[in-house]
């Protein structure tokens, strides 16, 4: 490359002050050339001119400092050997001044020993070019360091923008935020934290978080503080039922997270985010009170319903009193006649024994009617205890075993042993099964088959299964007991549970058995239904909840 020795354009240099004029409207990057040798300045100027830079010139260190403070150049090419203030001292002062410390400095010097290079780098220079220098090398190094300077400036602007954005975000957050160092000292707070704690920023910053007493009065006991495990072990600390004490001593409910901060896989501190949940807690308490009141109202409604049912039963008993009186009056009349007859008979030819049997049957009949009436009209309550429904079924079958033998009826049991224990009133359910078994036996007469099944079913569609949706939910497991007989079936109009309704011949039933049976099942919140089987006979299905 050939050098041009034409003089520097006077429009570019103020010979007195060593300053350049602004010649580019688009604010190009500024490069300051500093050398006490006019020839060196001429060579540097011609080397870098025309490359889009704004070139500034200074002939000594003092001028360089003045120009740099006003213009803040991106790059300074600085000679070391200068009078008054040498290059090393000039660089030191540049790096101490906040206005010029960002300028990149490249030393130019004939002092090419390693010691001078090291000293220059220690003072903050980015490069070192030995004199005499090659123009191409100067151009390349200037372009490289200007590019680095541009990237650093862009990065600094980006960091400042990110920091400003973060500050805006943190200031806009409703949650309080503390930044803690590894010792638990508060190094950052956002406005929400200041507002929520009632403390000033100065009162919070620089103090150990455990000593503030905000999240509990732990005093000097650092290990007792809830953030200790996060700061010492790097574990996330979360509490949904925390409490924060304000500066004035008042307290409010908070939910907080304390998360560890790692730098290069080393635990360096933690960030605490806490939120005021007083309104949520108050809403939860109100909801709990409302739920309690609703439960109370539900119980009162249920009690009122039971009282209404009882009143309806008593009304039903009143309407049927005449029928009951008739049912009781006839057996009593037979007893009365028998007593009168026995009073006038003295023979011992067997007639007395026959009359006594008639009297006993009449008494049993009257007792059955009265007992059924009392069972129906009396308000029933359950005594639920964990029990095995298969054992209840077996006990009921044992009690009707003599009827099965007398009628030559074969028993088939298919009881699921995997049902387990459920809540039930064994005495009342035993009464249910006895009523159902006896009805089936009486419907078959002789030589029939009584089948009893128990199993666990999962009801996918209560409507399709014939169950009440208000009592049973889709997917809910239930216990089902089926009683199948081989009798003549049941007429459609006879599938009722009304009290005192019966299709049995006079003297063989009161019509109270199925009514009492359904009442007991209802108290268990279960269901009972009757249907005719396609192969003949009837089927009774009892469905109970598992829990």
User: Is 215 exposed, middle or buried (CB count within 10 Å of its CB: 0-12, 13-18, 19+)?
Assistant: buried
The DSSP element (H or E) to which 239 belongs, if any, is: strand 237-245
State the alpha helices, DSSP H only, in 23-134.
38-48, 61-71, 87-96, 114-122
Report which of 189, 515, 244 is spatially closest to residue 375, judged by C-alpha positions: 515
Residues 542 and 428: their CA atoms lie apart, in Å, by 14
Reported as a single tens digit per residue, the pLDDT across 277-328 is 888 888 888 888 888 888 888 888 888 877 777 666 655 555 555 455 556 6
Domain positions in the chain are 10-158, 173-276, 293-377, 385-545
- At the fourth CATH level, the homologous superfamily of domain 173-276 is PAS domain (3.30.450.20)
Architecture of the structural domain at 385-545: 2-Layer Sandwich (3.30)
Are 73 and 103 in contact, with CB atoms under 8 Å apart? Answer: yes
271: β partners: 179, 259
Higher pLDDT, 355 or 529: 529
Q: What is the pLDDT of residue 5?
A: 34
Per-residue three-class SS string for 249-281 = CCEEEEEEEEEEEEECCEEEEEEEEEEECHHHH
Band (pLDDT 50/70/90 cuts) for residue 104 is: very high
Q: Which of 91-100, 228-237, 464-473 has the highest mean pLDDT?
A: 91-100
Identify the weakest region by mean pLDDT among 22-26, 28-32, 266-270, 289-293. 22-26
Higher pLDDT, 242 or 88: 88
Q: What is the pLDDT of residue 454?
A: 93
CATH top class, domain 10-158: alpha beta
Band (pLDDT 50/70/90 cuts) for residue 35 is: very high
Residues 6+ apart with CB under 8 A from 545: 422, 471, 472, 476, 478, 479, 524, 525, 526
Report which of 512, 535, 358 is spatially closest to residue 435, judged by C-alpha positions: 512
Q: What is the pLDDT of residue 358?
A: 64
Band (pLDDT 50/70/90 cuts) for residue 427 is: confident
Are 368 and 510 in contact, with CB atoms under 8 Å apart? Answer: yes
Q: Which strands sit side by side in the sheet containing 75-79, from one edge to the other?
A: 54-58, 30-34, 75-79, 104-109, 127-130
Q: What is the pLDDT of residue 62?
A: 93
Reported as a single tens digit per residue, the pLDDT across 382-409 is 788 899 999 999 988 988 888 899 899 9
Residues 514 and 523: their CA atoms lie apart, in Å, by 14
| pLDDT surpasses 80 at 540 | yes
pTM of the model: 0.35
Residues, the chain: 547
**Helix or strand or coil: residue 1?**
coil
Q: What is the pLDDT of residue 170?
A: 62
Band (pLDDT 50/70/90 cuts) for residue 371 is: low
Other Cβ atoms less than 10 A from the Cβ of 270: the count is: 23
Per-residue three-class SS string for 184-227 = CEEEEECHHHHHHHCCCHHHHCCCEHHHHCCCCCCCCCHHHCCC
Average pLDDT over residues 339-347: 62
Percent of the chain with pLDDT over 70: 74
Band (pLDDT 50/70/90 cuts) for residue 17 is: very low
Cα 423 off chain centre by: 31
Are 415 and 454 in contact, with CB atoms under 8 Å apart? Answer: yes
**Helix or strand or coil: residue 177?**
strand
Higher pLDDT, 211 or 545: 545
Band (pLDDT 50/70/90 cuts) for residue 30 is: very high
């Amino acid at each position: 490359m050939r050098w041009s020795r034409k003089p520097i354009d006077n429009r570019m240099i103020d010979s007195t002050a060593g300053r350049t004029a602004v010649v580019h409207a688009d604010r190009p990057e500024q490069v300051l050339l500093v050398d006490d040798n006019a020839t060196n300045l001429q060579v540097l100027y011609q080397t870098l001119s025309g490359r889009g830079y704004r070139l500034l010139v200074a002939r000594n260190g003092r001028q360089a400092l003045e120009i740099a403070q006003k213009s803040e150049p991106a790059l300074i090419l600085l000679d070391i050997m200068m009078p008054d203030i040498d290059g090393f001292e000039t660089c030191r002062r540049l790096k101490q001044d906040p206005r010029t410390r960002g300028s990149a400095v490249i030393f130019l010097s004939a002092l090419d020993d390693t010691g001078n290079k090291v000293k220059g780098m220690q003072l903050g220079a980015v490069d070192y070019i030995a004199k005499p220098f090659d123009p191409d090398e100067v151009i390349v190094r200037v372009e490289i360091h200007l590019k680095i300077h541009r990237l650093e400036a862009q990065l600094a602007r980006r960091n400042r923008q990110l920091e400003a954005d973060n500050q805006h975000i943190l200031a806009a957050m409703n949650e309080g935020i503390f930044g803690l160092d590894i010792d638990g000292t508060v190094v950052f707070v956002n406005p929400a934290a200041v507002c929520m704690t009632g403390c000033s920023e100065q009162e919070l910053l620089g103090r150990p978080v455990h000593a503030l007493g905000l999240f509990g009065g732990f005093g000097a006991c650092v290990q007792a503080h809830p953030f200790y495990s996060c700061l010492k072990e790097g574990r996330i600390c979360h509490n949904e039922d925390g409490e924060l004490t304000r500066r004035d001593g008042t307290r409010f409910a908070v939910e907080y997270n304390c998360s560890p901060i790692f730098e290069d896989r080393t635990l360096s501190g933690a960030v605490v985010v806490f939120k005021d949940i007083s309104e949520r807690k108050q809403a939860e308490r109100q909801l709990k009170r409302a739920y309690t009141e609703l439960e109370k109202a539900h119980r009162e409604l249920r009690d009122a319903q039971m009282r209404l049912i009882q009143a309806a039963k008593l009304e039903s008993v009143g309407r049927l009193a005449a029928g009951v009186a008739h049912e009781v009056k006839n057996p009593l009349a037979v007893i009365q006649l028998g007593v009168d007859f026995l009073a006038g008979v003295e023979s011992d030819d067997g007639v007395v024994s026959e009359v006594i049997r008639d009297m006993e049957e009449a008494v049993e009949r009257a007792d059955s009617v009265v007992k059924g009436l009392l069972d129906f009209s009396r308000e029933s309550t359950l005594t639920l205890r964990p029990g095995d429904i298969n054992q209840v079924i077996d006990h009921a079958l044992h009690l009707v075993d003599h009827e099965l033998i007398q009628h030559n009826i074969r028993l088939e049991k298919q009881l699921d042993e995997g049902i387990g224990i459920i809540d039930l009133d064994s005495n009342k359910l035993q009464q249910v099964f006895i009523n159902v078994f006896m009805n089936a036996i009486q419907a078959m007469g002789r030589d029939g088959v009584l089948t009893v099944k128990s199993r666990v079913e999962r009801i996918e569609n209560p409507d399709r299964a014939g169950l009440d949706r208000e009592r049973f939910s889709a997917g809910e497991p239930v216990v089902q007991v089926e009683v199948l007989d081989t009798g003549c079936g049941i007429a459609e109009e006879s599938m009722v549970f009304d009290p005192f309704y019966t299709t049995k011949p006079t003297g063989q039933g009161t019509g109270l058995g199925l009514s009492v049976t359904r009442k007991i099942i209802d108290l268990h919140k279960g269901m009972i239904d009757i249907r005719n089987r396609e192969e003949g006979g009837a089927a009774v299905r009892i469905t109970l909840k598992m829990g």
